[in-house]
Structure 1
Amino acid sequence: MGVPVNDLPIAELSDRARDVFRVVVESYLGTGAPVGSRTISKLGGFNLSPASIRNVMQDLEEAGLLSAPHISAGRMPTDLGLRLFVDAIMQAAEPSAEERRMIEQQLTEEGPVEQALAAATAALSDLSACAGIVMVPKRAPRLRQIGFVPLSAQQALAVLVGQDGSVENRVVDLPPGATAASLIEASNFVSSALAGLTLDEARHRLAADIGRGRAALDAASRALVERGLAVWTEDTDRRPVLIVRGQSHLIDDAAAADLVRVRQLLEELEDKEEISRLLDSATEAAATKIFIGSENKLFALSGSSVIAAPYRGADGRVVGVVGVIGPTRLNYARIVPMVDFTAQTLSRLMA
């Protein structure tokens, strides 16, 4: 999660300083505004004058945990302060039954796994009021069969069936000399010789069989099989590896006063390759990983936080990452468990 707790000055804080620090952070996360000593004194629970609270806040500022954006504007937590709060002070709240239901409901619909991932990410985005992100696992579809249905003298419909039950239709151009018999021969060859193989394996097997003279196909049938494999490969390569949902949540009333930061964040979200690289670093995490502000180079300029958790496939290995991106002023206690629950739910889907 970034800086280890042991490297932070939590043990050096007195109980009084820790209480003041906690109130400042919680108030800032709730309002987004710097917190003054008079505000803290009115919250109750402190047998301290505003002057004494100011002295404590000054000490916390010198420790690098608070900062003062303006001389008389009060204090707000630094990235280091937020890290200390998240790792050592925050008490996480479990997702409510309604929040769990909203996330799980998106994973019960039939359809491609990417569709379910996108829906779950959209639900997470709505619940957290952040942009939701998910890295889609790169799949290697295994063939069951390819059927060819003639459409005209020049084209046929390739019906591609995977072993996972997925069915995709693509129009392919017929090679010269193709006949109705060629279409049947091509379909039979895939079912008998290539079924159960991934696309790469099927292409290599076809090339090897042709090279050894073992592919009992005429030129037209062979060209049909090659085109059928190629069209599915092209479709697989085009599948998104990163889905982002809910960018509109980043443009709310609170963001209106900080449009430069929001514009910077939206530009950063366009860099899918860099985001994927950042999320990839979360695949080795045992649980939810949190990047706060300047802790990650990609979102340092916009001062944004990323909360991400890996999810696993049927064999228990990590296949993707799900999470949210938003301002550093997040309700971490609520959103961290929510991201973790979404990752666990996706793991059950992929199992």
Structure 2
Amino acid sequence: MQLEPRAQTLLKALVERYIADGQPVGSRALSKISGLDLSPATIRNIMADLEEMGYVASPHTSAGRVPTPRGYRLFVDTLLTVQHLDGQHGVDAERMRLSVQQPQKIIANAAQMLSSLTQFAGVVQSPRRESVFQQIEFLRLSEKRILLVIVDPRGDVQNRLLLTEVDYTPAQLIQSANYLNQNFAGLTFDEVRLRLTGELRRLQEDIGGLMQTAVEAGSEAMAEGSEEMVISGERNLLSVSDLSSNMSSLRQMFEMFEQKTGLMQLLDMSSKAGGVQIFIGGESKLVPMDEMSVVTAPYEVNGKIVGTLGVIGPTRMAYERVIPIVDITAKLLSNALSSS
């Protein structure tokens, strides 16, 4: 719904004042801060219209009004003026955290950077890693117990214990490893599974069974080898009265951090949309809390989107400052990972 200009100006002034001090905003205050030459009666009428449309609400204990999630959404989408970040906001100092070389350390530092700059919680989804292997080895530990060793293109090693129905000889293990390495190195385990299915008829039955087991186990091992997301600064949210004053909301918030499922789905969804995304209150259904908002942005490695990062904070956050922090951190992380 398109608001007339006076209503837009009053809503913008109300949201900005409420974000700044957290107190319901009355008509008298709005007449001073809005810059509009309107009578108190006219302001009250406009605010009553905004309340009827669901953009503001009146707490029972106050004559003033506060923005609703719908009001925040309109503010963010059409009324917000995003700040330009410079060294005064600590970005120059924080970007040095991303100069290290180890990818997982860069991810952790990016989460800490988001948390430090906003004083809320920072979250970074680890890069989605395709389960590509560079080399496979089988080590016979004992009868029907084999250690599968997987080396990925970065040189990282994953191990998996295989319990087999057949007692394979060392020669069979070497033959199987050589076949996989010579024919499938550099492919994902899903690609190997598809190609191997058509070739099993040409292989000895026992060795074919071992290779199928290895592909399934290798895919699981690679998936488990990377942490799904890194969260930093959850404790900052305990200092936010909007979130910590309600024990039920507090419990719900930390269940979200512990389970991570809804948060992961939200980050996955954000990466497909591209650019900075803002989820206010419970509108996403994945973070069902009216008191909480999530600001996200995807990041890339060598031009390909591989994950999402973001800030989790109260609905009453300074969006004009948080949005550019999330945006610039995504760009810095993309550059750091692409050059690491």
- Determine whether 1:235 maps to 2:221: yes
Equivalent residue runs for 1:12-23 within 5 Å: 12-13=5-6, 18=9, 21-23=11-13
Of the three residues 326, 330, 351, the one matched with 2:317 is: 330
Q: How far does residue 276 in structure 1 lie from its aligned partner after superposition? A: 3.8
Q: Which runs of 5+ in 1 are unaligned?
A: 1-6
Cα offset, 1:137, TM superposition: 4.7
Which amino acid letter does the alignment assign opposite residue 216 of structure 2? A
8 A Cα contact 1:170 1:231, kept in partner = yes
Between the aligned partners of 1:89 and 1:290, the Cα distance in structure 2 is: 14
Counterparts of 1:114-133 in structure 2, within 5 Å, are 116-133=106-123
Alignment of 1:156-171 (within 5 A): 156-171=146-161
2:136 and 2:180 in contact (8 A); partners too? yes
Query: Does residue 89 of structure 2 align to residue 102 of structure 1?
Result: no
Asked if residue 262 in structure 1 is aligned to residue 254 in structure 2, the reply is no
2:78 to 88, 99, 102: 88
User: What runs of 5+ residues in structure 2 fail to find an aligned partner?
Assistant: none
C-alpha distance 124-23 of structure 1, shift in aligned 2 (>3 A): same
**One-letter identity of the residue aligned with 1:110:** Q
Residues 41-80 of structure 1 correspond to what in structure 2 (within 5 A)?
A: 52=39, 56=43, 58-64=45-51, 65-70=55-60, 72-80=62-70
Measured after TM superposition, the shift of residue 205 of structure 1 is 3.2
Q: Which residue of 2 aligns with 1:343?
A: 330
Give the alignment's TM-score, normalised by structure 2: 0.78
TM-score (norm 1): 0.76
Deviations 1:182-202 (A, max 9, x none): 343333222212212211222
SS at match of 1:163: coil
Instruction: Report the CA distance shift for 1:241/1:59 in structure 2 as closer, same or farther (over 3 A).
Output: same
Pair 1:252 & 2:239 matched? yes
Deviation digits for residues 75-128 of structure 1 (CA, Å, limit 9, x no counterpart):
22233332333233332223444335535624634155xx64344234323432
Partner-residue secondary structure (3-state), 1:63: helix
Indicate the residue corresponding to 2:18 in structure 1: 28
Measured after TM superposition, the shift of residue 150 of structure 1 is 4.7
Q: Which amino acid in 1 is paired with 2:320?
A: A
Q: Aligned partners of 2:45, 2:257: CA distance in 1, in Å? A: 36
Deviations 1:224-255 (A, max 9, x none): 54444333211234455555443333222524
The equivalent of 2:137 in structure 1 is: 147
Cα contact 1:268–1:298 (8 A) shared by 2: no
Equivalent pairs counted in the alignment come to: 331
* Post-superposition offset of 1:59: 1.9
- State the distance in 2 between where 1:297 and 1:191 align: 45
Task: State the Cα distance separating 1:336 from its structure 2 match.
Answer: 0.5
Cα separation, partners in 2 of 1:170 and 1:103, compared to 1, 3 Å: farther
* Aligned residue runs from structure 1 range 202-213, under 5 A: 202-211=192-201, 213=202
Quote the offset at 1:271 in angstroms: 5.8
Q: Secondary structure of 1:146's match?
A: strand
Contact 1:131 1:245 in 2 (8 A): yes
Give the secondary structure class of the aligned counterpart of 2:239: coil
> What is the CA RMSD across the aligned residues, in angstroms?
3.6
Aligned counterpart, 2:183: 193
Percent identical pairs in the alignment equals: 32
Q: Is the 8 A contact 2:150 2:157 kept in 1?
A: yes
2:299 alignment counterpart: 311
Residue 4 of structure 1 is matched in structure 2 by none
CA distance in 2, matches of 1:44, 1:108: 46
